């Protein structure tokens, strides 16, 4: 590397001498200085050196103009769904390879979800409404296990957790953290032949009252988008099935590693970085902290009565508040704007009609069935985590699976981010 730099520097020096020596004079005024004449190879090297310098300068200017947005939050908060919305709104349609992965993820969500319901029904001691359902369930689990690798986890809590495909992994929601062999096993289960053989059993089980009663108690395990897929089993089992945008937004699986996407929005380049929110993934966050312009922190506000999949004990919303406390008070982000997205508002409004937030948060004061009172309490609880109350905290209630909602909210957030960084964008 040092030899190459020396060679480039020498070529640049030759070019400088050539421009300022007798070679540039009329023929009769020239002298015969050997250093004034560059060989063809030296001239080509000098040209390449100029191109490299110009490219580096251009990249430096582009990097200074780049708006780097970090998506943070606990697991299952909706970060990857938000990123998928950004791809839909600003990045165009998904290409064939990504669609194939989404197809596998959708089918895996259905398979893992039925397994989770069957196992949860047994744990909850709920009776079958049809006598043959017990045999159908046993056969379904046996056939699924025959396709999957024996190492696939059988934990119902993790069975329907998941996040965005499109980053190289093809394992869906049957296991929260699958290695390469497990991913291969789930891919086999979602192929046309294997999945089609399992569909009749899934339909029979989904119709059983015992499984429906289990679904009604879904807050005791993770099964967020399952109903949509099970209601559409016939469609997603078709040989030519291509996932719709709604399928893509609802497909779940845990983000492993770091996922980045870049968009140009109104002439301003944005880079959005999504990092897994599970406890096992958070040690990777620090790798993304350099050059952050803004943080979008997502918290699932509907999960006030649910426990973490990781330990089955910790309240999910309190976990989000604890993670938010760590981020918003980190000295590394002293000059970084933080925007709070209280996500899954649609599920929150649905839940508070039957579940009181006061049961999980005794400090709540107000009407637990009033959306305004509940939302005010949530905003106040997150704001209270800030040690520096003078630092502005913007917040929005969002529904990440609603494209129009995210489009409106992000337009407001984008303008705030650009306004806060206007000098940097204009100077570069």
- Per residue in 55-110, pLDDT tens? 665 555 545 567 888 888 888 888 889 989 988 888 777 888 889 889 999 999 99
Considering the candidates 119, 182, 224, 274, report the single residue annotated as catalytic: 274
Model confidence at 161: pLDDT above 50? no
Q: Which two tokens stand for residue 280?
A: 């096992």
CATH superfamily of 96-250: GI Alpha 1, domain 2-like (1.10.400.10)
Considering the candidates 103, 115, 252, 316, report the single residue annotated as catalytic: 252
Average pLDDT of the segment spanning 154-179 = 36
Considering the candidates 81, 214, 375, 398, report the single residue annotated as catalytic: 81
- pLDDT value for 420: 67
Q: Which two tokens stand for residue 381?
A: 């609880």
Q: Which two tokens stand for residue 291?
A: 């050059």
Q: Using one digit for the tens of pLDDT, what is the confidence trace for 118-138?
A: 999 999 999 999 999 999 999
* 275-295: burial string, b at 16+ Cβ within 10 Å, e else: bbbbbebbeebeebeeebbbb
Task: Using a pLDDT cut of 90, give the percent of the chain over it.
Answer: 37
Residues 6+ apart with CB under 8 A from 159: 112, 113, 115, 116, 119, 153, 173, 174, 175, 176, 222
Inter-CA distances, 59 with 62, 84, 204, 246, Å: 5, 27, 58, 37
Q: Using one digit for the tens of pLDDT, what is the confidence trace for 9-38?
A: 444 544 444 444 444 444 444 444 444 566
Note if 274 is an active site residue. yes
Model confidence at 170: pLDDT above 70? no
Q: Beta strand pairing status for 337-343 and 258-265? A: unpaired
Q: Which two tokens stand for residue 368?
A: 């637990």
User: What sign does the dihedral 197-198-203-204 (CA atoms) show?
Assistant: positive
Nearest to 274 by CA among 73, 64, 65: 73
CATH 3.40.50.300 intervals, the chain: 66-93+256-427
Model confidence at 310: pLDDT above 70? yes
Considering the candidates 45, 85, 255, 278, report the single residue annotated as catalytic: 278
pTM for this model (two decimals): 0.73
The region, left, alpha or beta by phi > 0 then psi within -120 to 50, assigned to residue 78 is left
Q: How far is CA 116 from the centre of its chain?
A: 23
Average pLDDT of the segment spanning 392-407 = 91
Rounded to whole angstroms, how far apart are CA atoms 226 and 159? 11
Model confidence at 217: pLDDT above 70? yes
Considering the candidates 76, 101, 119, 305, report the single residue annotated as catalytic: 76
DSSP 126: P
Mean pLDDT, the chain, whole residue set? 78
Task: Using a pLDDT cut of 70, give the percent of the chain over it.
Answer: 71
CATH 1.10.400.10 intervals, the chain: 96-250
β strands within 307-382, DSSP E: 337-343
- pLDDT value for 220: 66
Band of residue 290 on the pLDDT scale cut at 50, 70, 90: confident
Band of residue 361 on the pLDDT scale cut at 50, 70, 90: very high
Average pLDDT of the segment spanning 200-206 = 95
Band of residue 263 on the pLDDT scale cut at 50, 70, 90: confident
* 311-333: burial string, b at 16+ Cβ within 10 Å, e else: eeebbbbbbbbebbeebbeeeeb
- pLDDT value for 58: 54
- pLDDT value for 10: 47
Which has the higher per-residue pLDDT, 274 or 325? 325
66-93+256-427 adopts what CATH topology?
Rossmann fold (3.40.50)
Average pLDDT of the segment spanning 145-163 = 49
DSSP 315: B
Inter-CA distances, 225 with 110, 170, 368, Å: 9, 18, 25
Note if 76 is an active site residue. yes
CB 85, CB 406: distance < 8 Å: yes
CB 223, CB 215: distance < 8 Å: yes
Band of residue 184 on the pLDDT scale cut at 50, 70, 90: low
Q: Which two tokens stand for residue 110?
A: 């259905």
Helix/strand number for the chain, H first, E second: 17, 6
Inter-CA distances, 89 with 83, 94, 274, Å: 10, 11, 17
Model confidence at 221: pLDDT above 70? no
CB 416, CB 339: distance < 8 Å: yes
Looking at 58-62, 139-143, 215-219, 344-348, which range is the least confident one? 58-62
Which has the higher per-residue pLDDT, 134 or 218? 134
């Amino acid at each position: 590397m040092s030899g190459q730099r020396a060679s480039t520097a020498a070529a640049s020096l030759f070019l400088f001498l050539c421009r300022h020596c007798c070679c540039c004079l009329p023929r009769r005024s020239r002298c015969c200085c050997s250093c004034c004449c560059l060989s063809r190879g030296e001239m080509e090297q000098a040209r390449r050196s100029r191109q490299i310098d110009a490219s580096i300068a251009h990249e430096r200017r582009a990097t200074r103009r780049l708006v780097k947005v970090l998506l943070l939050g606990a697991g299952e908060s909706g970060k990857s769904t938000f990123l998928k919305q950004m791809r839909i709104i600003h990045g165009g349609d998904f290409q064939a390879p990504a669609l194939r992965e989404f197809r596998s993820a959708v089918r895996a969500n259905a398979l893992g979800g039925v397994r989770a319901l069957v196992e949860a029904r047994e744990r909850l001691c709920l009776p079958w409404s049809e006598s043959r359902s017990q045999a159908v369930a046993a056969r379904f689990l046996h056939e699924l296990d025959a396709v999957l690798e024996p190492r696939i986890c059988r934990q119902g809590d993790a069975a329907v957790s998941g996040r965005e495909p499109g980053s190289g992994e093809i394992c869906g929601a049957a296991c929260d953290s699958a290695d390469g062999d497990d991913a291969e096993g789930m891919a086999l289960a979602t192929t046309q032949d294997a999945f089609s053989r399992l569909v009749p059993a899934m339909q029979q089980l989904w119709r059983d009252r015992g499984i429906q009663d289990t679904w009604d108690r879904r807050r005791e395990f993770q099964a967020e988008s399952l109903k949509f897929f099970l209601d559409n089993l016939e469609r997603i089992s078709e040989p030519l099935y291509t996932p719709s945008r709604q399928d893509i937004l609802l497909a779940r699986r845990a983000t492993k590693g770091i996922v980045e996407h870049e968009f140009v929005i109104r002439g301003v380049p944005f880079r959005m970085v999504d990092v897994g929110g599970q406890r096992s993934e958070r040690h990777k966050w620090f790798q993304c902290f350099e050059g952050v312009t803004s943080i979008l922190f997502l918290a699932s506000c509907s999960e006030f009565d649910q426990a973490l999949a990781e330990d089955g004990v910790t309240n999910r919303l309190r976990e989000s508040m604890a993670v938010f406390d760590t981020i918003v008070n980190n000295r590394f982000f002293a000059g970084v704007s933080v925007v709070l997205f209280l996500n899954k508002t649609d599920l929150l409004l649905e839940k508070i009609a039957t579940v009181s937030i006061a049961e999980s948060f005794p400090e709540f004061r107000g009407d637990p069935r009033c959306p305004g009172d509940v939302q005010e309490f949530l905003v106040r609880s997150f704001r209270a985590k800030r040690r520096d109350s003078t630092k502005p905290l913007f917040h929005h209630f969002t529904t990440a699976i609603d494209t129009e909602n995210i489009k409106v909210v992000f337009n407001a957030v984008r303008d705030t981010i650009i306004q806060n960084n206007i000098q940097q964008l204009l100077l570069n």
